[in-house]
Structure 1
Amino acid sequence: MKKYIGYLSVGLFSAAFTILGMQFFSNSQDGEITTNADKQNGAFDFVDYKGNYGFNAPDFVDASQRTVNAVVSINNFSTNTQRQRSNDPFEYFFGFPQQERDPNQPTGSGSGVIISDDGYIVTNNHVIKGSDKIEVILNNQKSYTAELIGTDPNTDIALIKIEEKGLPFIKFVDSDAINVGDWVLAVGNPFGLNSTVTAGIVSAKGRSIDILRRNNASSPIESFIQTDAAINPGNSGGALVNPNGDLVGINTAISSQTGSYVGYGFAVPSNLVKKVVEDIKKYGLVQRGYLGIEGMDLSDEALVREYNKRNSENLKSQPGVIIQRITDNGGALDAGLEKGDIITEIDGVKITSFNKLTLAVGSKYPGDKVKVKVLRAGKEREYTVTLRDTKGNTTTRSLSDLTVTEKLGAEFEPLTDRQKVSFGIDHGLMVKGTEQGGKLSSIGISDGFIILKVNEKNVSKEDDIEKILKSHKGKVSISYVDPYGRIYTRGFTLD
């Protein structure tokens, strides 16, 4: 018995010694790590983790159930043979363009989000671009033909409507309140798989990937929400929602070399979407204010180096936008802004890049006054600028206020004698300044094309087009010559 008592005593003594030694070692480590002397020797503060942090993942079930029935499939039926898939590494069209133009098959597909119980649906402009017919399919597989209410290529947003009542819909939420790291869900129809929900986080805000300009938007506004929620072809126009099922953004693009998800997706923030679709519904077009400048992003080091090389200057890369030109009909000229001024702030919002500038100004209306802070010769100055639209107006205008050529979305100039001889024609108008979203752009006409006839009548000057279409409503036919001398006739409807 004494033998066993001796073994037990040794065991208890060893255990106690071990515990005391570990405690001493731990205390010694804690003390060493928090001393200034050891920090100077390269040590850093350390948290001794001893258990579960108590992390609870959000419940996505409720948000999924509330949103899947408010996200629709959209099919684009188009006879425009010039439409094709983009080769851009940022896969832009999230649908499936067909090589053969079967009129009974869609030329592309995507998603849309119901935003009111009476059938208003928001989607991407590129999803419905060039369409002759827009088909909307609800989650219950009921199909509708949608009316195109309006588009805004500068944000890649479009508003369409179906005739139905009592529809489930998703409410907008303040996208400015969304933080990097917040959970989000992407809801859409990737690869034709209806009602697909994926989860991720907001990985960045205010992203500009230059995709709208590369797709010929005239005044693009890019301030995308970046997310790692899986987004694939067919998700375009679908919903990015928070865990409550509220609309954070409209999924628009992915960063991919393959055309499929590799980690990053981009959504137009809901605040910008809401402003665009409300303008379209109320006015028939987007009301947007402009400063009346052309500028360069000084936060882009590559642009600054090129600018210095071209202009023999020594500008430094810094937050802000440098004014390179003042337009004749803009508010900047009247307010006293000058070429070379560096815009640093608008209405209290820090302007750190060009996309910050376009978002700060583009969300306002013609006639709005903004406070603009600039650096001029190293000194800060402040000016009050009255914003104007692209035509110099300081008031909002509806679709009915536009001239015919504004509705067509282009400018025209008479042909020279040399051009007439070269193309073997004796009349026509050269197209220039084509705007994305205009009627001519929608049927494939762009700068350098020649308009021969409008509604079977020859045209030789801009007034000819105005006279033919001034009081016209309904179908319009355009005969034109492309830069290769090929003659086409296409049509559209003028409201």
Structure 2
Amino acid sequence: MSLSYRTNRKIKLAIGSVSTGLVLAFASLAGGTVQAQTPAATAAVPVLSVPDFSAVVEKTEGSVVNIRTTETIEARPSMGPGTDPYDMFRWFFGPDFVPPGATPGPRQRGNPGTPSVPGPKERTVPRGVGSGFIISADGYILTNNHVVSGANGIFVTMTDGKEHKAKVIGTDPRTDVALIKIEAKNLTPLPIGDSRSLKKGQWVLAIGSPFGLDSTVTAGIVSAINRDTGDYLPFIQTDVAVNPGNSGGPLINLAGQVVGINSQIISQSGGFMGISLSIPIDEVMRVVAQLKEHGKVTRGRIGVQIGPVSSEVAKAIGLSKAQGAMVSNVEEGGPAASAGVQSGDVILKFNDTDIKHWSDLPRIVGATKPDSNIDMQVWRRGKTVTLKVKVGEMKPTPADGAQDQEPAPKATPADALGLKVTAVPDLVRAKEKIKGGVQVTAVEDPAATAGLVPGDIVLVVNQTDVTDPEQFAKLVSRLPKSQAAALLVLREGQTQWVPVTPGK
């Protein structure tokens, strides 16, 4: 049998452009020969091969360590000589259980007439395993905070089998970074890379101890940069196989440099499912500098609660694009309040750094030294305003209490937005420290579909402050029917912009 050029052409038309090697293989399997060559016009397809990672592994794996931890737990005495045989019954029936034939008397531990049983004892048990890597020749090691948190013993095993007891220098739960140290000299640290230079599609390696299997190497590519998961940091997303026990190990580029700390997996089963998250090493090293010097991390704060700016809200309030961080609440007496920040402001720039996404602001403010005087640019009522804010130090704040309510006056009829409103009660006005606004008493569409509920307080319509129900009714009556209006709504101490398109 022979395979002519015409037949070869039909095959190419049927299945698309194929390589000459594939046609040759097909002809060979058919027992024939190819009588004509592929046209010279066919462009050669470049062949890409998977890199050989052995040189990188050989250079770096000696600096990656296994970390095992222990904890102390309370242990109940076992049933045996000298213990109370009726202790199990007291576990089910209560401490006043009296064994058959015994005379009830003063409550004591153990069977009446027998010596008291000693109380529960403590014992040390294995807690978990993780990974880490050496960052200095004198024994400093980086890992995750969740690897060492709650442990009473931390043991580091090197690739040569030597085990060292480690002490915690400092931890930062917010970024999940921990700095520990062992007593050792002349160690080989891993070189620190630049996570900001990473690009999607680049090869990276993970070395660690998944399920306790130390010095395990896996490879993959960078899937995404600055992955926002709602946590404090933007993560490096990869498809490198990372499993329990890899936590705290390094993410390494092909130059043998650390570009991240493997920290989390996104999984429905608890095992690897193709999405792994690593902490960028640039963020980590900023934390390390403070942990080394102070044993803790000090961050800046300005005392605002923020949210995203949607494209609809941006258009309604006059922003050219959806960017910045919308201020939903300003802490009373905080740095932002002292600087004049108001609820509904959109923070566009902090210390000459653009806020492209709302989650950028906490990281930028947190990295600012407390007591620094910073220029902050906000969008307010259709124009930019520059404010001077003195950055404070981040501290936990108590939760706000519930609002006190008082009977409200009669509500207005439903308007074009589907809202019935009334004047804000004096008690609520004093509690929320607001001067104007109207309180929603009933909601119909389109406001109901937009998410408004009774009890909400409308403070601003587009660029105009709301003063009372009468003025609010006039504002609503003048709104274009086909354009969304931006309502600044206060709910349970938080403000947010809500776009609502008036009904016809």
Q: Give the aligned residue type for 1:55.
A: L
Equivalent-residue separation in structure 2 for 1:316 and 1:205 (angstroms): 25
Which of 302, 319, 330 does residue 291 from structure 1 map onto?
302
Query: Per-residue deviation at 1:281?
Result: 0.6
Query: Per-residue deviation at 1:364?
Result: 2.5
Corresponding residue number in structure 2 for 1:374: 378
Corresponding residue number in structure 2 for 1:357: 361
Q: Deviations over 1:169-197 (max 9, x none)?
A: 11222211212222211111111111111
Q: Deviations over 1:113-170 (max 9, x none)?
A: 1111111111111111111111111111111110011111111111110000011111
Corresponding residue number in structure 2 for 1:61: 54
Q: How does 1:303-452 map to 2 (within 5 A)?
A: 318-328=322-332, 330-390=334-394
1:69 counterpart SS class: helix
Percentage of identical aligned residues: 40
Equivalent-residue separation in structure 2 for 1:340 and 1:247 (angstroms): 41
Q: Give the count of matched residue pairs.
A: 317
Corresponding residue number in structure 1 for 2:187: 167
Q: Give the aligned residue type for 1:167.
A: L
Q: Deviations over 1:62-100 (max 9, x none)?
A: 221122111111111112579xxxxxxxxxxxxxxxxxx
The answer to whether residue 262 in structure 2 is matched with residue 258 in structure 1 is no
The answer to whether residue 215 in structure 2 is matched with residue 199 in structure 1 is no
Corresponding residue number in structure 2 for 1:139: 159
Equivalent-residue separation in structure 2 for 1:377 and 1:152 (angstroms): 39
Query: Per-residue deviation at 1:57?
Result: 4.1
1:334 counterpart SS class: helix
The 1:177/1:125 distance shift into structure 2, 3 A limit, reads: same
- RMSD between aligned residues: 3.4
The 1:49/1:188 distance shift into structure 2, 3 A limit, reads: farther
Considering fraction of residues, name the structure with more helix: 1
Which of 229, 232, 250 does residue 240 from structure 2 map onto?
229
Query: Per-residue deviation at 1:314?
Result: 13
Equivalent-residue separation in structure 2 for 1:63 and 1:291 (angstroms): 44
2:233 counterpart SS class: coil
Equivalent-residue separation in structure 2 for 1:156 and 1:290 (angstroms): 19
Q: Are the aligned partners of 1:77 and 1:103 in contact in 2 as well (CA < 8 Å)? A: no
Corresponding residue number in structure 1 for 2:66: 73
Greater mean deviation of Cα atoms: 374-383 or 101-110:
101-110
Q: Give the aligned residue type for 2:290.
A: D
Corresponding residue number in structure 2 for 1:423: none
Q: Are the aligned partners of 1:344 and 1:374 in contact in 2 as well (CA < 8 Å)? A: yes
The 1:335/1:56 distance shift into structure 2, 3 A limit, reads: farther
Corresponding residue number in structure 1 for 2:494: none
Q: Are the aligned partners of 2:131 and 2:209 in contact in 1 as well (CA < 8 Å)? A: yes
Query: Per-residue deviation at 1:361?
Result: 2.0
Q: How does 1:94-105 map to 2 (within 5 A)?
A: 103=123, 105=125
Corresponding residue number in structure 2 for 1:473: none
Which of 186, 200, 203 does residue 183 from structure 1 map onto?
203
2:300 counterpart SS class: coil
Q: Are the aligned partners of 2:302 and 2:336 in contact in 1 as well (CA < 8 Å)? A: yes
Q: Are the aligned partners of 1:298 and 1:317 in contact in 2 as well (CA < 8 Å)? A: no
1:79 counterpart SS class: strand
Which of 147, 150, 168 does residue 130 from structure 1 map onto?
150
Q: Give the aligned residue type for 2:286.
A: K
1:323 counterpart SS class: strand
TM-score normalised by structure 1 residue count = 0.58
Q: Are the aligned partners of 1:80 and 1:130 in contact in 2 as well (CA < 8 Å)? A: no
Q: How does 1:273-288 map to 2 (within 5 A)?
A: 273-288=284-299
Query: Per-residue deviation at 1:331?
Result: 2.7
Equivalent-residue separation in structure 1 for 2:195 and 2:372 (angstroms): 22
Corresponding residue number in structure 2 for 1:107: 127
The answer to whether residue 170 in structure 2 is matched with residue 150 in structure 1 is yes
Equivalent-residue separation in structure 1 for 2:307 and 2:128 (angstroms): 36
Corresponding residue number in structure 2 for 1:208: 228
Structure 1: which 4+ aligned runs deviate by more than 6 Å? 313-317
Equivalent-residue separation in structure 2 for 1:278 and 1:318 (angstroms): 35
The 1:81/1:346 distance shift into structure 2, 3 A limit, reads: farther
Which of 136, 140, 151 does residue 116 from structure 1 map onto?
136
2:218 counterpart SS class: strand
Query: Per-residue deviation at 1:300?
Result: 10
TM-score normalised by structure 2 residue count = 0.57
